Structure 1
Amino acid sequence: METKETTATTVKNLDLTANPAPLGLTAFGITTVLLNLHNAGFFELGSMILAMGIFYGGLAQIVAGIMEWKKNNTFGMTAFLSYGFFWLSLVALIMLPKMGLADATSKDAMAAYLLMWGLFTAVMFIGTLRANRALQFVFGSLTILFILLALGEATGNGTVTMIAGYEGLLCGFSAIYAGLAQVLNEMYKWTVAPLG
């Protein structure tokens, strides 16, 4: 009786695609800065913020999230896809009533929406405790931002929303820094901008 011995061959797939995190972080950061310039009272909510919410904050982060999936990065995939769809849903909440397709969202409902995003972000912040300090700051400050925005909606207090706007500027610029630092560090092959 003849037996055949089989051997298993392991094939390692080397992922040579680019790091999607800088795209996702800068898309989130720039869109967040622009929205929070509005929240801080510098200008009205208009088409510039809505367009950024759809295309850069929304679609660019979704692309980054899909790329993170390919890289087997569950945290990056979850973060970028979630916040990409956050921006699209936020624009929809603003635009659907203007188009006559839905009733305007009540202040309590908007507060609940923002609070749920704050809870999600707080859990994601716990995940960043295994990452660099820059990412920890982004998610920590974003958690605070969502809570402040929810409080501003729930109370109708414009001062809280204005404070949230300034805090959101800090959050957005920290995300821009974290994204562009990765680009510069990769381009120069040394730490141009520390991430901690």
Structure 2
Amino acid sequence: MYICIFFPTPCCAYSLGTTHISCKMRNTDERRAWRLGEEADVPMCDPSNQEPCSAKKDDNGSVERLAAAPAPVEDYRQKLGDPGAVGFVAYGITTVLYNLSNADLFPLNTTTAGIVIAYGGFAQVIAGIMEFVRGNTFPCTIATTFGSFWIATALVWILPHKDTSTPNEYLHEADEAFLGVFFLLWAVFTSVALASSLVMPRAIFFVFVLTLLFFVLQSVAFLSKSALLKRIAGFEGICCGLSALYCGLAMMLNDAHGKTLLPLFPPRRKHNHL
């Protein structure tokens, strides 16, 4: 018969017939589980350093003292908001306004330049930094890279500005062929991003498909100096921006309501039966 003597002190009790040290059971359920030989994860005290431990009764009736599992460490990154919505909304609005000019619907103006630099550029870079803090490599790379793309695009317009006070121009305006190479390299990067997005919701994958098509059309339009292709690329870019805007608004709306109101269509995952 197993008998425990529970001391009124906050810590230890000695079992008769053994030399094992157990600890004080603080309620009836814990003592009952102990008497029935069930495993009990009971906070115990170490006589030497008062560290908590757990214990269980083995088949021979002896008390086995086990080290307690470490307390779970709270991950601060889980408290941070998801910057994905900011990145997609910024990319979507900027892409739509930029391509309104490419489609010859509106002339390129300071409104386009302002949104490209402030929202398409800085906002996406900030979103990428937030993704870096959260430990998300792919969203961090995408947001910071496309944010830098918009800043670079704005600088292409601004840097070769001519002025009467500066007759010697050190930065020449890029010709259309070089801009074709510029967009071609972005198409290469986007193709790799597209392959990486295969595991993501289908709405996000669709954004990368349209983005890749936009860069390819832009590259071919500038290399061939075709105004028609450039206008087609503009209309395609508007569709690309609207799809990205949908993803960003869906993320924001679904997070605010705690349920899916605008679906992103998650990918179908194959079950592993091994």
The reply to whether TM is greater than 0.5 is: yes
TM-score range, shorter chain: over 0.9
Partner in structure 2 of residue 117 of structure 1: 186
3-state SS in 2 of match to 1:19:
coil
2:103 paired with 1:40 = yes
Partner in structure 2 of residue 151 of structure 1: 220
Q: What's the TM-score, normalizing by structure 1?
A: 0.93
Structure 1 position 14, deviation (Å): 2.8
2:97 paired with 1:97 = no
- Unpaired segments of 5 or more residues in structure 2? 1-68, 163-168, 266-274
- Determine which of 108, 116, 128 is the counterpart of 1:53: 116
Runs of 4+ in 1 over 2 A off after TM superposition: 8-14
Cα pair distance change 1:183/1:102, threshold 3 Å: same
* Matches of 2:241 and 2:170, distance apart in 1: 31
Structure 1 position 81, deviation (Å): 0.3
* Matches of 2:140 and 2:182, distance apart in 1: 21
2:75 paired with 1:13 = yes
- Measured against aligned partners, the alpha-carbon deviations of 1:145-170 in whole angstroms (never above 9, x if no partner) come to 00000111011111101110111011
- Unpaired segments of 5 or more residues in structure 1? 1-7
2:145 paired with 1:76 = no
Letter in 2 for 1:70: V
Identity %: 36
3-state SS in 1 of match to 2:171:
coil
2:173 paired with 1:173 = no
Matches within 5 A, 1:131-150: 131-150=200-219
Partner in structure 1 of residue 86 of structure 2: 23
3-state SS in 2 of match to 1:129:
helix
Structure 1 position 31, deviation (Å): 0.3
Q: CA RMSD in A?
A: 1.5
- Measured against aligned partners, the alpha-carbon deviations of 1:96-144 in whole angstroms (never above 9, x if no partner) come to 1115551000111100000000110011011110100111011110000
Structure 1 position 13, deviation (Å): 2.4
Structure 1 position 94, deviation (Å): 1.1
Higher share in helix: 1
Higher share in strand: 2
